[in-house]
């Protein structure tokens, strides 16, 4: 089957069987490898992307279910790594191995787009589906709070709202 | 030693002895002189060889271009331990190069770089001195180049911020400006090159963010699974569910007709569990086609008789062995039986820990191209040199026809010390010449085809004198091995493990269960299991004697001294004073005994010495009456000598503590009919963000040579938590994982 997808603001055409998970469309067909394979059953969150601004697991999203929904991947979260979460992740040195971090950032970005001032309980709820085998959880939580502060005070707020929707 | 202060000074005499030993351990840092070349035409790293000849390449690790770009070569595999940042930091410190001016480049496997390895928390102790000398040698050549340019004495010049300054005149030349002349100078002797005084360090000990972070947060291709080569095909490799089983037949013709599938074939493999495991390869246009075809693959496996190989059978065998005389005595000092007979308090207990998988978040994968008799491999491996040897041996290729590129690695934890996935990819590629092949494992394969942390059983007896002092210790350790003659990889215990060497009567014996399960090196191999047993049992003895668990432990450690290894054992020197210091710091910072805790809340302490690091942890837990456990806080005191990268060090300790907690709380691999029963993160869970405890980490300042941090903070976590659970509930955890136990109380 032939599909036309909206990926990071661009129309992309792919030929694939309808049951192909969006994860493998992104990785193998479109060479967008920032979205990671971790478990294939929606348990680890490494493949988290945005579908119309909602955080979803690309491994559980067959290409046939995407339609004209807007796909944003880690590569499209900002043009130049300037999303507050991306900046804070570097400043706080959040990653260890780094494999899960694109999924962590995409989950956190969807949270902040909907709730610019999340509590610890909000963070727990939004991030519980993202595993980090290196256990960077303390800095992930800290990073989300830090990004919130960054947002509260500066121009990045506008940018966050743009990329989050 | 000062009791309370983490800054307490340490003995200079011991410092020097410790340093000499570590230097010896490093296998002779001075051999690096071999790699030093005075001119860019000499032997240099891959990247350096490719560089324009106008660069200054003082050795295989450093390249400086005329426009001032300083490139440092990162030689070791990066698995998240931060080595791609920490080793270049050490070079940059001595080179007097500001961190912002540095570009770090990952090396491939290259014998000119010395050992390239990610394991055993060894990178810092093995390379610290070498990296300093490499940086210092380059700096001295740049200073000399400036002095010759100005025609002034060398000792009137010094380096600062990638610039050489002439002190009397204030003249300056940047490193970039000095490249041409520096490249003509002879290299100094690394052995005698002048090093900086550590008090002048500007970079080491600071918080430096990982060099790949900007790429990680923007999703750039970095990892093994991200590799793309022109015309690349994607493959799966299916092994039998029972370890070591061979392919009798498979429906290959049917599989070859499936959508996207290009080829399918049987690979006979080798007989041993550490070679090329037999299986079926399915090569397809993309990963999903290969994964789907895998579901239609039907294989008849010729296994070996393993019906008796189950977790239940192993437990029954361990119980039977415990009633028999031990098969082997590993160490016996003093007279244990007599001491136990005369002890005021005798405690007997049986402990069991399960098998564990590594469960790295990036599943095993590897990319290989076999073309014109050459094998090129892009590998997320922790041990590339053994990987190359394995490919050469199994595929019958000359070593000089094999190239290994190192990718960033989505978690190591010891899994990728084994190169089974690497040789698989090479074997598949060899059958499809001219086409790059990426083999990707499913998560299910990854959980079911690991080199597992071995399960084990300890049958212990301990005796405390009337005075309250620990006097006697007996352990019948029952472990596993595939040969039936010796314990499997990571499944043995040294006769020098604490409290061996610290109490008068100590005996460690061992018996073996034969299994078909390949075992390997999990984070803090061995220590990750038996630290829990030994530090829990010490707690039992302290309570039996009515002693405070901290005071009881400090008494066993005894005087501040360095305790040498015993003859014939694999122990290393153990500095009692350093351990006592971290125990005291952890206890003080955690507020040990400063408050009376109500029932349902508890504090537990544990310490462990491994990988040359001294770590003590106090855990604060709460247990609700219905048995719900919450780990409130972990307080760690760590002595690994001076810290290289404070940010990375903190990451490693946090990560190790949560890893240890996660494993102890939830994880267990079990077997039935010779096969693994778990398959993915739903039945092999990892701790998630909401359950992460508060963590407080205190790095004790000491002048001992710096050692590694990938592992030593893990072993004390599980016993600290289990000891805290006992304090909270009176329930002693003697079988892991914790969540199998009913912790409810009323």
Q: What is the mean pLDDT of chain B?
A: 92
B372 and B387 belong to one structural domain: yes
Q: Sign of torsion, CA A138 A142 A143 A145?
A: positive
Q: Sign of torsion, CA B297 B236 B683 B273?
A: positive
Give residue B170's pLDDT: 97
Please, are residues B218 and B657 in contact by the beta-carbon 8 Å criterion?
A: no
Please list, residue by residue across B56-66, b when 16 or more beta carbons sit within 10 angstroms of its beta carbon and e when fewer do. bbbbbbbbbbb
Per the CB < 8 Å rule, is A20 touching B288? yes
A71 and A44 belong to one structural domain: yes
Average pLDDT over residues B78-101: 97
Max CA distance (Å), chain B: 85
Per the CB < 8 Å rule, is B411 touching A123? no
Instruction: Give the best residue of B76, B82, B216 to mutate against chain A (max A CB count within 10 A).
Output: B216
| Residue B39 resides in a domain | yes
CA distances from B120 to A109, B413, B636 (A): 36, 10, 20
| Residue B4 resides in a domain | no
A63 and A116 belong to one structural domain: no
Instruction: Give the best residue of B77, B82, B218, B446 to mutate against chain A (max A CB count within 10 A).
Output: B218
Residue with tokens 């070349």: B37
Give residue B2's pLDDT: 32
Which residue segment(s) compose the domain that A25 sits in? 2-76
Average pLDDT over residues B469-485: 93
Chain B residues with beta carbon closer than 8 angstroms to that of A102: 216-217, 219
Closest CA relative to residue B220, chosen from A33, A82, A24: A33
| pLDDT band at residue B663 under the 50/70/90 scheme | very high
Closest CA relative to residue B59, chosen from B193, B161, B151, B167: B193
Q: Where are the alpha helices (H) located in chain A, listed in sequence order?
A: 22-24, 84-91, 101-114, 120-127, 137-153, 156-164
Per the CB < 8 Å rule, is A102 touching B680? no
Per the CB < 8 Å rule, is A135 touching B80? no
Please, are residues B423 and B387 in contact by the beta-carbon 8 Å criterion?
A: yes
pLDDT for B1 beyond 50: no
Facing B287 at nearest CB: one of A24, A34, A35? A24
- Give the total residue count for chain A: 165
| pLDDT band at residue B306 under the 50/70/90 scheme | low
Percent of chain B whose pLDDT exceeds 90: 88
CATH, residue B54: 3.30.365.10
pLDDT for B568 beyond 50: yes
Rounded Cα–Cα distance for residues B634 and B164 (Å) = 47
Q: Sign of torsion, CA A133 A134 A137 A139?
A: negative
A56 and A124 belong to one structural domain: no
CA distances from B128 to A80, B131, B642 (A): 35, 5, 11
Residue B594's Cα: distance from chain center in Å?
35
Could you tell me which residues come within 8 angstroms of residue B295 by beta carbon, excluding any fewer than 6 positions away?
none
Q: Sign of torsion, CA B273 B276 B279 B285?
A: positive
Please, are residues B696 and B334 in contact by the beta-carbon 8 Å criterion?
A: no
Instruction: Give the best residue of B258, B689, B694, B709 to mutate against chain A (max A CB count within 10 A).
Output: B689
Q: Show which of A76, A96, A111 is a domain's final residue.
A: A76
Return the bridge partners of B672, or none: B675
pLDDT for B28 beyond 50: no
Closest Cα in chain B, distance from residue A84 (Å):
11
> Is any Cβ of chain B less than 8 angstroms from the Cβ of A53?
no
Per the CB < 8 Å rule, is B218 touching A43? no
Could you tell me which residues come within 8 angstroms of residue B308 by beta carbon, excluding any fewer than 6 positions away?
none
Could you tell me which residues come within 8 angstroms of residue B113 by beta carbon, excluding any fewer than 6 positions away?
B35, B45, B60, B61, B73, B75, B107
Beta strand ranges found along B244-292 (DSSP E): 246-250, 261-267, 279-284
The total domain count for chain B is 3
A60 and A97 belong to one structural domain: no
The total domain count for chain A is 2
> Is any Cβ of chain B less than 8 angstroms from the Cβ of A106?
no
How many CA atoms lie within 13 Å of B375's alpha carbon, on the beta-carbon side? 32
Closest Cα in chain B, distance from residue A81 (Å):
6
B443 and B456 belong to one structural domain: no
CA distances from A77 to A57, A73, A83, A109, B307 (A): 16, 6, 7, 8, 52
| pLDDT band at residue B535 under the 50/70/90 scheme | very high
A91 and A72 belong to one structural domain: no
| pLDDT band at residue B593 under the 50/70/90 scheme | confident
Q: Show which of B197, B218, B250 is a domain's final residue.
A: B197
Q: Show which of B181, B197, B213 is a domain's final residue.
A: B197
> Is any Cβ of chain B less than 8 angstroms from the Cβ of A98?
yes
A102 and A155 belong to one structural domain: yes
User: Rounded to the nearest 10 degrees, how much is the dihedral formed by the CA atoms of B564, B566, B567, B573?
Assistant: -30
pLDDT for B667 beyond 90: yes
Chain A residues with beta carbon closer than 8 angstroms to that of B681: 38-39, 41, 43-44, 131
| Residue B53 resides in a domain | yes
A36 and A61 belong to one structural domain: yes
Closest CA relative to residue A105, chosen from A49, A64, A151: A49
Sheet containing strand B505-514, edge to edge, reads B328-333, B505-514, B470-481, B456-464, B345-353
Helix (H) or strand (E) holding B167: none
Rounded Cα–Cα distance for residues B343 and B347 (Å) = 10
Instruction: Give the best residue of B223, B287, B288 to mutate against chain A (max A CB count within 10 A).
Output: B288
pLDDT for B5 beyond 90: no
A93 and A66 belong to one structural domain: no
B287 and B166 belong to one structural domain: no
Chain A residues with beta carbon closer than 8 angstroms to that of B230: none
A59 and A96 belong to one structural domain: no
Residues 62..91 of A with a Cβ closer than 8 Å to B: which?
73-75, 77-78, 81, 85-86, 89-91
| Residue B218 resides in a domain | no
B401 and B462 belong to one structural domain: no
Please, are residues A111 and A126 in contact by the beta-carbon 8 Å criterion?
A: yes
| pLDDT band at residue B305 under the 50/70/90 scheme | low
B381 and B235 belong to one structural domain: yes
Give residue B314's pLDDT: 95
Closest CA relative to residue B72, chosen from B83, B87, B88: B88
Average pLDDT over residues B359-365: 98
Return the bridge partners of B735, or none: B352
B22 and B160 belong to one structural domain: yes
Give residue B307's pLDDT: 67
Residue with tokens 């540095």: B102
Could you tell me which residues come within 8 angstroms of residue A106 by beta carbon, excluding any fewer than 6 positions away?
A48, A49, A50, A55, A72, A73, A74, A77
> Is any Cβ of chain B less than 8 angstroms from the Cβ of A141?
yes
Rounded Cα–Cα distance for residues B462 and B458 (Å) = 12
pLDDT digits (tens, 9 = 90+) for B502-527: 999 999 999 999 988 999 999 999 99
Closest CA relative to residue B250, chosen from B290, B302, B298, B294: B298
Per the CB < 8 Å rule, is A97 touching B220? no
Closest Cα in chain A, distance from residue B592 (Å):
24
B554 and B420 belong to one structural domain: no
Chain B residues with beta carbon closer than 8 angstroms to that of A138: 654, 692, 695
DSSP codes joined into one string, B105-149: EE--S-GGG------TT-HHHHHHHHHHHHHHHHHHHHHHHHHHH
A123 and A159 belong to one structural domain: yes
B560 and B697 belong to one structural domain: yes
| Residue B631 resides in a domain | yes
Give residue A161's pLDDT: 52
B431 and B390 belong to one structural domain: yes
Max CA distance (Å), chain A: 47
Per the CB < 8 Å rule, is B651 touching A124? no
| Residue B702 resides in a domain | yes
Per the CB < 8 Å rule, is B217 touching A33? no
User: Rounded to the nearest 10 degrees, how much is the dihedral formed by the CA atoms of B384, B388, B389, B390?
Assistant: 100
B481 and B599 belong to one structural domain: yes
> Is any Cβ of chain B less than 8 angstroms from the Cβ of A133?
yes
Closest CA relative to residue A128, chosen from B685, B684, B357: B685
Per the CB < 8 Å rule, is B686 touching A131? yes
Per the CB < 8 Å rule, is A73 touching B288? no
Chain B residues with beta carbon closer than 8 angstroms to that of A127: 688-690
User: Residue A142 CB: number of other CB atoms within 10 A?
Assistant: 14
A48 and A119 belong to one structural domain: no
B152 vs B595, residue with greater confidence: B152
Closest Cα in chain B, distance from residue A63 (Å):
12
pLDDT digits (tens, 9 = 90+) for B243-293: 889 999 999 999 999 999 999 999 999 988 899 999 999 999 999 999 999
Q: Sign of torsion, CA B616 B622 B626 B628?
A: negative
Report helix, strand or coil for B638. strand
Rounded Cα–Cα distance for residues B404 and B376 (Å) = 6
Q: Show which of B418, B448, B478 is a domain's final residue.
A: B448
Give residue B485's pLDDT: 83
Closest Cα in chain B, distance from residue A59 (Å):
11
> Is any Cβ of chain B less than 8 angstroms from the Cβ of A14?
no
Per-residue pLDDT of chain A (165 residues; tens, 9 = 90+): 999 999 999 999 999 999 999 999 999 999 999 999 999 999 999 999 999 999 999 999 999 999 999 999 999 999 999 999 999 999 999 999 999 999 999 999 999 999 999 999 999 999 999 999 999 999 999 999 999 999 887 645 555 555 543
Give residue B26's pLDDT: 33
Q: Where are the alpha helices (H) located in B151-300, listed in sequence order?
A: 175-182, 213-216, 252-256, 287-296
Tell how strand B470-481 and strand B456-464 pair up. Answer: antiparallel
Query: CB contacts < 8 Å between A and B, how many?
Result: 188
Return the bridge partners of B299, or none: B250
Q: Show which of A76, A108, A136 is a domain's final residue.
A: A76
| Tokens representing residue B159 in the block | 């380096």
Residue A58's Cα: distance from chain center in Å?
10
Residue with tokens 């922790």: B382
Chain B residues with beta carbon closer than 8 angstroms to that of A141: 689, 692
Q: Show which of A76, A107, A134 is a domain's final residue.
A: A76
pLDDT digits (tens, 9 = 90+) for B688-703: 999 999 999 999 999 9
Please, are residues B458 and B490 in contact by the beta-carbon 8 Å criterion?
A: no
Per the CB < 8 Å rule, is A96 touching B286? no
Facing A128 at nearest CB: one of B217, B220, B690? B690
Chain A residues with beta carbon closer than 8 angstroms to that of B410: 36, 97-100
pLDDT for B15 beyond 50: no
Per the CB < 8 Å rule, is B287 touching A27? yes
pLDDT for B36 beyond 50: no
pLDDT digits (tens, 9 = 90+) for B165-192: 999 999 999 999 999 999 999 999 999 9
pLDDT digits (tens, 9 = 90+) for B597-635: 999 999 999 999 999 999 999 999 999 999 999 999 999
Which residue segment(s) compose the domain that B55 sits in? 12-197
The verdict on ipTM greater than 0.90 is: yes
Chain B residues with beta carbon closer than 8 angstroms to that of A93: 207-210, 213, 647-648, 651
CATH, residue A155: 1.10.150.120
Chain B residues with beta carbon closer than 8 angstroms to that of A140: 689
| Tokens representing residue B320 in the block | 């039977």
B527 and B415 belong to one structural domain: no
Give residue A153's pLDDT: 76
B441 and B514 belong to one structural domain: no
User: Residue B189 CB: number of other CB atoms within 10 A?
Assistant: 12
Phi, psi of B387 (to 5 degrees): -65, -45
pLDDT for B50 beyond 80: no
Closest Cα in chain A, distance from residue B485 (Å):
34
Closest CA relative to residue A15, chosen from B669, B546, B415, B289: B289
Facing B213 at nearest CB: one of A27, A95, A137? A95
A59 and A37 belong to one structural domain: yes
Per the CB < 8 Å rule, is B219 touching A127? no
Sheet containing strand B163-166, edge to edge, reads B157-160, B163-166, B172-174
Instruction: Give the best residue of A73, A78, A92, A96 to mutate against chain B (max B CB count within 10 A).
Output: A96
Give residue A158's pLDDT: 53
Closest CA relative to residue B410, chosen from B235, B228, B216: B216
Residue of B nearest to A89 (CA): B217
Angle between helices B527-544 and B717-729 (to 10 degrees): 30
């Amino acid at each position: 089957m032939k599909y036309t997808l909206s990926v990071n603001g661009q129309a992309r055409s792919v030929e694939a069987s309808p049951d192909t998970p969006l994860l493998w469309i992104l990785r193998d067909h479109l060479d967008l490898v920032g979205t990671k394979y971790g478990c294939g059953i929606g348990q680890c969150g490494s493949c988290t992307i945005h579908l119309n601004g909602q955080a979803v697991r690309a491994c559980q999203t067959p290409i046939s279910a995407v339609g004209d929904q807007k796909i944003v991947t880690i590569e499209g979260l900002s043009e130049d790594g300037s999303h507050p979460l991306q900046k804070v992740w570097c400043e706080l040195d959040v990653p260890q191995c780094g494999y899960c971090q694109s999924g962590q950032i995409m989950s956190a970005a969807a949270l902040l787009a909907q709730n610019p001032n999340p509590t610890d309980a909000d963070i727990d709820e939004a991030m519980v589906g993202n595993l980090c085998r290196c256990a960077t959880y303390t800095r992930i939580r800290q990073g989300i709070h830090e990004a919130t502060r960054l947002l509260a005070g500066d121009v990045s707020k506008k940018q966050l709202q743009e990329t989050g929707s | 030693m000062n009791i309370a202060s983490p800054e307490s000074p340490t003995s200079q005499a011991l410092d020097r002895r410790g340093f000499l030993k570590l230097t010896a351990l490093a296998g002779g840092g001075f051999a690096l002189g071999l790699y030093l070349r005075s001119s860019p035409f000499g032997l240099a790293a891959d990247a350096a060889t490719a560089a324009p000849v106008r660069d200054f390449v003082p050795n295989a690790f450093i390249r400086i271009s005329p426009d001032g770009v300083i490139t440092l070569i990162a030689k070791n595999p990066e698995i998240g331990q931060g080595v791609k940042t920490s080793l270049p930091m050490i070079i940059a410190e001595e080179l007097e190069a500001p961190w912002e001016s540095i570009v770090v480049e990952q090396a491939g496997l290259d014998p000119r770089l010395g050992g390239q390895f990610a394991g055993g928390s060894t990178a810092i102790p093995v390379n610290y001195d070498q990296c300093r000398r490499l940086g210092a040698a380059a700096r001295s050549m740049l200073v000399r180049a400036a002095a010759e340019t100005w025609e002034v004495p060398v000792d009137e010049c010094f380096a600062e911020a990638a610039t050489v300054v002439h002190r009397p005149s204030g003249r300056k030349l940047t490193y970039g400006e000095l490249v041409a002349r520096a490249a003509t100078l002879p290299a100094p002797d690394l052995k005698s090159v002048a090093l900086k005084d550590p008090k002048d360090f500007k970079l080491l000990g600071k918080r430096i963010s990982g060099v790949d972070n900007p790429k990680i947060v923007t999703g750039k291709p970095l990892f093994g699974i991200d590799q793309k080569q022109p015309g690349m095909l994607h493959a799966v490799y299916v092994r039998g569910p029972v370890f070591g089983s061979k392919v009798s037949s498979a429906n290959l013709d049917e599989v070859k007709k499936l959508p996207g599938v290009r080829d399918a074939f049987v690979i006979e493999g080798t007989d041993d569990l550490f070679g090329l495991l037999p299986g079926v390869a399915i090569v397809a246009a993309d990963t999903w086609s290969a994964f789907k075809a895998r579901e239609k693959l039907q294989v008849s496996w010729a296994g070996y008789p393993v019906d008796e190989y189950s977790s239940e059978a192993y437990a029954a065998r361990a119980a039977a062995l415990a009633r028999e005389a031990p098969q082997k005595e590993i160490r016996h000092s003093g007279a244990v039986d007599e001491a136990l007979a005369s002890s005021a308090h005798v405690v007997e207990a049986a402990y069991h820990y399960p098998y564990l998988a590594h469960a790295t978040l990036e599943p095993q994968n590897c990319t290989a191209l076999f073309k014109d008799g050459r094998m090129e491999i892009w590998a997320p491996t922790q041990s590339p040199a053994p990987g190359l040897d394995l490919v050469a041996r199994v595929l019958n290729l000359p070593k000089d026809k094999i190239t290994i590129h190192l990718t960033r690695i989505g978690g190591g934890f010891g899994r990728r010390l084994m190169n089974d996935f690497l040789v698989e990819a090479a074997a598949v590629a060899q059958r499809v010449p001219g086409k790059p092949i990426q083999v990707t494992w499913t998560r299910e394969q990854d959980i079911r085809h690991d080199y597992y942390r071995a399960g084990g059983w300890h049958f212990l007896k301990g005796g405390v004198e009337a005075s309250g002092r620990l006097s006697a210790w007996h352990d019948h350790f029952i472990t596993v091995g595939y040969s039936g003659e010796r314990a499997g990889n990571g499944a043995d215990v040294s006769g020098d493990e604490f409290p061996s060497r610290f109490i008068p009567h100590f005996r460690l014996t061992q018996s073996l269960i034969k299994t078909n399960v390949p075992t390997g090196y999990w984070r803090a191999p061995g220590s990750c299991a038996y630290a829990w047993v030994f530090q829990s049992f010490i707690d039992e003895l302290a309570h039996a004697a009515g002693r405070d668990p901290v005071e009881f432990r400090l008494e066993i450690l005894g005087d501040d001294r360095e305790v040498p290894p015993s003859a014939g054992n694999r122990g290393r020197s153990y500095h009692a004073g350093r351990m006592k210091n971290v125990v005291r710091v952890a206890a003080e910072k955690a507020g040990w005994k400063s408050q009376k805790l109500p029932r349902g809340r508890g504090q537990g302490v544990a310490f462990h010495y491994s990988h040359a690091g001294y770590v003590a942890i106090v855990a604060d837990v709460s247990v609700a009456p219905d048995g719900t456990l919450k780990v409130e806080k972990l307080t760690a005191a760590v002595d690994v000598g001076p810290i290289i990268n404070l940010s990375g060090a903190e990451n490693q300790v946090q990560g190790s503590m949560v890893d240890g907690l996660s494993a102890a709380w939830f994880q267990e691999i079990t077997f039935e009919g010779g096969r693994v029963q778990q398959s993915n993160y739903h039945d092999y869970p990892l701790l998630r963000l909401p359950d992460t405890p508060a963590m407080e980490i205190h790095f004790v300042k000491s002048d001992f040579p710096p050692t590694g941090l990938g592992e030593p903070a893990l072993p004390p976590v599980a016993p600290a938590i289990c000891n805290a659970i006992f304090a909270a509930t009176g329930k002693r955890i003697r079988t892991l994982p914790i969540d199998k136990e009913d912790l409810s109380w009323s």
